[in-house]
Structure 1
Amino acid sequence: MYLSQSPNGIKPCHPCTYPPPPPPPSKEQKDQNEIKGYFDFKLLHEEAEIPKQFIWSSRDLVKGTPEKLETTLIDLKAIKRDEGAMASAAELVRKACLKHGFFEITNHGVDLHLITAAHQEFESIFKLPLSKKLTAKKNVWGYASGHAERFSSSLPWKETFTYRYNYIHKSESQVVDFFTSVLGEDFQNSGLVNQRYCEAVKEVSMVLLELLAISLGVDRSHFQKYFEDGEAVMRCNAYPPCNGSDLTLGVGPHCDPTSITILHQDQISGLEVFVDNKWLAVPPRPEAPDTFIINIGDTFKALTNGIYKSCLLRMLVNGKVMRKSLTFFLNPKGDKTVKPPNTLFESEEERKYPDFIWSEF
């Protein structure tokens, strides 16, 4: 017998007068509940207006200038066995990192076909139905879309796929294992392509660390030894076409908290850097499609005692076509103490930052 509240207290009422319980949710309704809080960019592109959650403030949307950031392009192949070329490149890198922390590299040894394949594998993932992509969401790893589950305003107009790559790992197939675990065996080739990509970029990072050490005047193997057991984060960012591209951002203004970012962008412009109080574009280089953009993050800035800069950057979106980038974030091992070499400061009073453990940053 059901109970109901009356002015005189609780009294029994006839079961037939009580609303029946709702039927259990159908599988279709369950699927809808599972994707609640996520946006399907395929559908959003068909809308005349973008959701208000994606609209950014006028402060963040300040238009960039027609100017481009003047970046140094380093030919890594030319410096590997030529000490004179290495010294010249180190000086160019030093000047760039003292000013804004950005430079570019080419002829780095990562095959252009491998870079292209990595872009293609991610493109196939982003074309999957939203319900399938969400099966690959594992906390901070795997698939993410708009971050509506974390924030309610100024959402980034992007989709991402993120995974870890440890420089020292008990499994030689760590990336393949992750892809098949979150997407299924059909994506083994995607994992294999990404595994090879990370292995190749790891080799590039070791050359960069030597170049940066020389540019700072410290032992040339100092940073190579420090990062030999590094823990990288690999992320593909996809910025879908947007009917309100002047109202939103793919990524808002920020400094990378990591050590070194190794980024490959497709042939669609969108990256901007804040230098001399204005936003400057860092466009693709069609004449050198293998180009990687390198930028210093907050952690490496601390490793240089603040000598090198970690600069504000943001990502714009395009009104007609998708833009993609492959982003490899190099970090120290989690338990490493972040502290600059003693040669970069003469006394503790000259220290700009206290020591800290990377995983606690």
Structure 2
Amino acid sequence: MVDLSNFLEANAAMPFPAMEVARSPHLPCVPVDANATDSNSATDVLDLWRQQKQIPAPFVWPNADARPSSMLELDVPVVDIGAALHSAAGMGRAAAQVAEACASHGFFQVTGHGVDPALARAALDGAADFFRLPLATKQGARRSPGTVEGYASAHADRFAAKLPWKETLSFSHNHDDVGARGNSHVVVDYFTSALGDDFKHLGEVYQEYCEAMEEASLAIMEVLGMSLGLGRGYYRDYFADGSSIMRCNYYPRCPEPDRTLGTGPHCDPSALTILLQDGDVDGLQVLVDGAWRFVRPKTGELVVNIGDTFMVRTLPGLPVMVWDSCYDVYRNVRTIACLNLF
């Protein structure tokens, strides 16, 4: 299973914490030669892990943290962003839906977002193709300690236990002025510098996808502003010169999905997360009022959730733009990514 996450931040907001430590990016239990150049010897790390009948010990999560047994579905409103941008009635309807969702759990799905389905498909296929590459090739983009960009396998460079069953590729995208859009090459430059000129086309796909996500996220910010009575331009202007982190997540089939997680319980530290899911696996689960509920993937729709830096405590004047533990108005909740069997 592959999905794509776009994390939006304003440049004035808190940066992502640097939590990396200088350790080997591989698990001791995985017999892989990271310096190998032959495609047969540079086997995919997770291919080796899933060849075993039992998952390695570092991937085992305690029973209390393992896959939830609940099969409840989260009631997520579907918000038509296109209608919101083109009519007062559409905006009123969208703002009401978003206000209710964000006061409850912070999740909603959007249609009319303007992202070309062919581009979305190309971005998902590009991620799948990347994760099928030999390990030695992927290691060309290996994430360095103290950074958020690059390839990582199960976060084994950061933790020794309760590892997530996934691979990731992350890269940043800075929002440009409208007039400069289409001339930016920051994502393309990342791919060619980290992986070589053969990956220029993939970089171009993600450059275009990141720009489309930028437009979608700013449109969503207009609705969020209206939902709080602040007007369409308040948050759009605030985040217009911000930046985002694009993350491709790959969750391979797992021999023991009940004993591990694709992503452990967490809250997103960003202002806004936009998720493009691939396939029909109900992997995303959200903790609401003490119960885990899954978010059903829907073709053509994006899953949106507000993060820590967008939580609003009160509204005596203007919203608080930093994390606060009081969920009086808008809240975010913990999520996990569950896995599927062979």
Shorter-chain TM-score bucket reads 0.7 to 0.9
CA deviation map 1:210-233 (0-9, x unaligned): 100000011321111110111100
How many Å separate the matches in 2 of 1:39 and 1:184? 19
User: How far is the alpha carbon of 1:30 from its aligned partner?
Assistant: 7.4
The question of whether the paired residues in 1 share the 8 Å contact of 2:59 and 2:260 is answered with yes
Q: Aligned AA for 2:265?
A: P
Which of 220, 223, 226 is the equivalent residue of 1:211? 223
User: Which residue is equivalent to 1:282?
Assistant: 295
* Counterpart pick for 1:103 among 101, 108, 119: 108
State the partner residue of 2:307.
297
Q: Retained in 1: the 8 A contact 2:67–2:257?
A: no
Aligned to 1:193: 205
What's the CA shift string for 1:142-192, capped at 9, x where partnerless? 110011121110001000000000003886111101011111111111000
The match for 1:154 among 152, 159, 162 is 162
Question: After TM superposition, where is structure 1 displaced by more than 3 Å over at least 4 residues in a row?
Answer: 302-306
Instruction: Say if 1:156 and 1:250, in contact at 8 Å, map to a contact too.
Output: yes
Instruction: Check conservation: 2:172, 2:246, Cα contact below 8 A.
Output: yes
2:67–2:338 CA contact under 8 A, matched in 1: no
Between structure 1 and structure 2, the one with the greater Rg is 1
Counterpart for residue 143 of structure 1: 151
Q: Give 2:249's aligned residue.
A: 237
Aligned to 1:270: 283
State the partner residue of 2:191. 179
User: Does the 8 A contact of 1:31 with 1:131 survive in 2?
Assistant: yes
Aligned partners of 1:64 and 1:281 also within 8 Å:
no
Higher deviation after alignment, 56-65 or 209-218? 56-65
Give 1:107 shift. 2.1
User: What residue ranges of structure 1 are gaps of 5+ in the alignment?
Assistant: 1-27, 33-37, 321-361
- 1:90-120 C-alpha deviation (Å, 9 max, x unpaired): 0111000000000000121101110000011
List alignment gaps of at least 5 residues for structure 2: 1-31, 37-42, 314-318, 321-326
Taking structure 1 as reference, are residues 29 and 44 closer, same or farther at Cα in structure 2, changes over 3 Å only? closer
Partner of 1:42: 47
8 Å CA contact retained: 2:274, 2:303: yes
**Superimposed CA distance per residue, residues 28-74 of structure 1 (whole angstroms, 9 cap, x where no aligned partner):** 97727xxxxx9810111111111000001111115242210000001
Instruction: Provide the secondary structure at the position in 1 that maps to 2:273.
Output: strand
Alpha-carbon separation, structure 2, partners of 1:131 and 1:220: 47
State the structure with bigger RCO (CA 8 A, min sep 6), 1 or 2: 2
User: CA separation in 2, counterparts of 1:194 and 1:154?
Assistant: 31
Aligned to 2:271: 259
58 and 222 in structure 1: CA distance in 2 versus 1, 3 angstrom threshold: same
Q: Does the 8 Å CA contact 1:93/1:212 hold for their aligned counterparts?
A: yes
Question: Residue 259 of structure 2 aligns to a residue in which SS?
Answer: coil
**C-alpha displacement of 1:138:** 3.5
Q: Percent identity?
A: 41
How many angstroms apart in 2 are the aligned matches of 1:101 and 1:166?
25
Contact 1:67 1:280 in 2 (8 A): yes
**Aligned residue type for 1:118:** A
> Partner of 1:261: helix, strand, or coil?
strand
Contact 2:176 2:184 in 1 (8 A): no
- Could you tell me which residue of structure 1 aligns to residue 175 of structure 2? 167
Question: RMSD of the TM alignment (CA)?
Answer: 1.9
Deviation at 1:313, TM superposition (A): 0.4
Relative distance call for 1:293 and 1:30 in structure 2 (3 A) is: closer
What SS class does the counterpart of residue 53 from structure 2 fall into?
Answer: coil
For 2:34 and 2:106, locate their aligned partners in 1 and report how far apart those are by CA, in whole Å. Answer: 48
**TM-score for the superposition, normalised by structure 2:** 0.80
1-side partners of 2:70 and 2:61: how far apart? 19
Using the alignment, how far apart are the partners of 2:69 and 2:287 within structure 1?
Answer: 9
Amino acid at match of 1:181: S
